[in-house]
Amino acid sequence: MSPAAHAAARALLADPLTNKGTAFTETERDTLGLHGLLPPHVGTLDSQIERRQRALARMPDDFHRYSFLRELQDSNEILFHAMVQRDLPAMLPLVYTPTVGEGCERFSEIWRRPRGLFLSWPNRQRIAEILGDPALDRVKVIVVSDGERILGLGDQGAGGMGIPIGKLALYTACAGIHPSEVLPILLDVGTDNEARRDDPLYVGWRHPRIRGAEYDAFVEDFVTAVADRFPGVLLQWEDFAGHNAYKLLDRYRHRLLSFNDDIQGTAATAVGTLLSAISRTGLALKDQRVVLFGAGAAGCGIADMLVQALQAEGLSEAQARQRIWAVDRDGLILSDMSDLSNGQRSYARDAAETDHWVRTSQGPIDLFDTVANVHPTVLIGASGQHGAFSEAVARTMAQATERPVIFPLSNPVSRAEAHPADLARWSAGRALIGTGSPFGISGVTQVNNIYIFPGVGLGALAAGAGRITDTMFMAAARTLGAMGGDDTLLPPIERLRDVALDIAVVVAAQAVADGVAASDVAIDRDAIAAQMWVPTY
């Protein structure tokens, strides 16, 4: 063998997109010069999965399993994805929430091999050069984060890269986007997390966050370079802090195919689940009274989409907003409050409304007093405040409502507003419960964006869409809301690929109806299904 052939053989094994490990056949070993580099046994995908599953079962905890799977992904992607796809219920919590939270916090500790791109502030002049890598020629979907608001865990700096990596693994698992077509990106503009900066192992740029005009210019350079390099690419924003999340979404959603999953994906998932829940309560959407706890990016996104859904039932925008009471860190959001975000201001209630409320405390109106006076039928938490849905709150709500709909959405588990088992007990089993993280309790639905974003992305790409409209998300939400099972509000995790396909079809059709699809596109379910990659050798 020539030196070049030896090098090519090693390169083949080192590249996770081409490496098959022991599953290279004798013929492949002959022609590719792999003898000696592999043990003599010729395995199969099945036997490799069996070996890895045994190893996984012996690990002491989920964090070790997460780390093991990340390494597998970086050494053999087909095997990694085959494992994930064959057992989505067991694997999703390991490759994504809740375990990915610790994966981000301890990212530097388990750093092994490069995956995706780190675009750091000191390298800001090199963005186009970095994106120019020919290995990225096939990229169709980018998930980007700046690591500032990772799940409910705050600023994780470069460790936030765990989120784009995890989300894109789910794109492949659920929407069948080929691993060579996805690109995780972390915009490293520093971190204000001092523990990370002081950690000698921290792999990110050790600097307080760049903010203001400099930050905006950096993101602008990034988006411009992405649009130039990857025309038609889908750019998904993940885990940006609220102030940037809205701003960047507003700025870029009309310039390229782009959406913010924390805002729009969460909204569509929550509204879809809500539609499923209220179809069991017998009370029409327009008659629901909704209390939202935590009016940040996710909370306001849910509220905005609810308003859209209510308007579709014939309410005016003002009437629709009147169905929602938003409580944030300073209590019920009222019109006389200063310091409200734009998203929050549109939900501010007239302060006079509360003049005659029976109150248990002075000062800002807290969640309990809001619930006691509003008698909500729906309570949604997106605050990151562990235990905020107290026994008193839940019992008070359940006293006034036959089938309370309660969604403690905050992730990870340690941030959930309530434990679903407690909510079930406090409501005497009458509550319809949806949680952000998986609790493994039967009858409790996991309101996970995984139900929406893969299908929206797949549908938008299939339609050759240039933009993602609100109505495309609404179509996704309605489709999801109609897919629930007998005892859960959403379909089981095993069916996520079917869910993604169903949603992709309606999203693509909506893109055509909204005039944002490619001119010559014909939406064909079988054709979309045929595009979905299945991991086999």
- Residues labelled as active-site residues: 96, 167
253 contributes a contact to ligand NAI by CB under 6 A: no
Stretch that binds ligand NAI, among 177-185, 327-335, 479-487, 503-511 (CB under 6 A): 327-335
Stretch that binds ligand NAI, among 110-118, 184-192, 251-259, 324-332 (CB under 6 A): 324-332
The CA-to-CA distance between both ends of the chain, in Å, stands at: 25
Q: Which is nearer to ligand NAI, 416 or 523 (CB)?
A: 416
CB 72 within 8 A of CB 80: yes
Three-state secondary structure call for residue 119: strand
Q: Which is nearer to ligand NAI, 148 or 188 (CB)?
A: 148
In the shown chain, the binding pattern of residues 353 to 382 toward ligand NAI, with x for contact by CB under 6 A and - for none, equals: -----------------------------x
Please report the sign of the dihedral spanned by the C-alpha atoms of residue 25, residue 31, residue 32, residue 37.
positive
CB 229 within 8 A of CB 413: no
Which residue among 19, 260, 383, 469 contacts ligand NAI (CB under 6 A)? 383
CA distance readout (Å), 71 to 23, 53, 75, 161, 382? 18, 14, 6, 15, 32
Closest CA to 410 of 527, 338, 302, 518: 302
Stretch that binds ligand NAI, among 78-86, 172-180, 296-304, 425-433 (CB under 6 A): 296-304
Which residue among 377, 445, 449, 469 contacts ligand NAI (CB under 6 A)? 449
Q: Which is nearer to ligand NAI, 163 or 278 (CB)?
A: 163
The least distance separating ligand NAI from the CB of residue 96, rounded to whole angstroms, comes to 11
List all residues 6 or more positions away from 1 whose beta carbon is below 8 Å from its beta carbon.
9, 33
The least distance separating ligand NAI from the CB of residue 415, rounded to whole angstroms, comes to 5
Residue with tokens 């290995």: 135
Closest CA to 169 of 90, 95, 101, 91: 95
Q: What is the DSSP string of 371-433?
A: HHHH--SEEEE-S--TT-S-HHHHHHHHHH-SS-EEEE--SSGGG-SS-HHHHHHHTTT--EE
Closest CA to 309 of 284, 333, 292: 284
Q: Which is nearer to ligand NAI, 52 or 167 (CB)?
A: 167
Q: Which is nearer to ligand NAI, 19 or 191 (CB)?
A: 191
Pairwise CA distance, residues 3 & 216, whole Å: 48
299 contributes a contact to ligand NAI by CB under 6 A: yes
Q: Which is nearer to ligand NAI, 117 or 302 (CB)?
A: 302
Which residue among 33, 164, 179, 296 contacts ligand NAI (CB under 6 A)? 296
Within residues 145-174, the interface with ligand NAI by CB under 6 A covers 149, 151-152
Q: Which is nearer to ligand NAI, 179 or 242 (CB)?
A: 242
Three-state secondary structure call for residue 448: coil
Which residue among 73, 377, 410, 479 contacts ligand NAI (CB under 6 A)? 410
Q: If binding means CB under 6 A, how many residues of this protein chain bind ligand NAI?
A: 29
Q: Which is nearer to ligand NAI, 48 or 97 (CB)?
A: 97
Within residues 34-63, the interface with ligand NAI by CB under 6 A covers none
Alpha helices in 294-414 (DSSP H): 297-312, 317-321, 342-345, 367-374, 391-400
Alpha helices in 282-382 (DSSP H): 297-312, 317-321, 342-345, 367-374
Within residues 276-295, the interface with ligand NAI by CB under 6 A covers 293-295
Which residue among 48, 269, 488, 510 contacts ligand NAI (CB under 6 A)? 269
433 contributes a contact to ligand NAI by CB under 6 A: no
**R_g of the chain computed on alpha carbons:** 24
Pairwise CA distance, residues 503 & 299, whole Å: 23
Strands 445-446 and 432-435: parallel
Which residue among 70, 167, 321, 415 contacts ligand NAI (CB under 6 A)? 415
Which residue among 48, 411, 427, 445 contacts ligand NAI (CB under 6 A)? 411
In the shown chain, the binding pattern of residues 183 to 222 toward ligand NAI, with x for contact by CB under 6 A and - for none, equals: ----------------------------------------
For residue 43, what are its two tokens?
């395995």
Three-state secondary structure call for residue 272: helix
Which residue among 234, 285, 290, 297 contacts ligand NAI (CB under 6 A)? 297
Residue nearest to ligand NAI (CB): 296
CA distance readout (Å), 324 to 15, 329, 409? 51, 17, 17
Closest CA to 272 of 477, 470, 490: 477
The least distance separating ligand NAI from the CB of residue 436, rounded to whole angstroms, comes to 3
The least distance separating ligand NAI from the CB of residue 138, rounded to whole angstroms, comes to 29
Per-residue DSSP letter, 519? T
CB 146 within 8 A of CB 78: no
Q: Which is nearer to ligand NAI, 76 or 449 (CB)?
A: 449
The least distance separating ligand NAI from the CB of residue 151, rounded to whole angstroms, comes to 4
Three-state secondary structure call for residue 42: coil
Closest CA to 444 of 436, 430, 434, 453: 434
Which residue among 309, 409, 462, 516 contacts ligand NAI (CB under 6 A)? 409
CB 142 within 8 A of CB 234: yes
Q: Which is nearer to ligand NAI, 77 or 261 (CB)?
A: 261
Closest CA to 285 of 319, 313, 305: 313
Residues that bind ligand NAI (CB under 6 A): 149, 151-152, 242, 262, 266, 269, 293-299, 327-329, 382-385, 409-411, 415, 436, 447-449
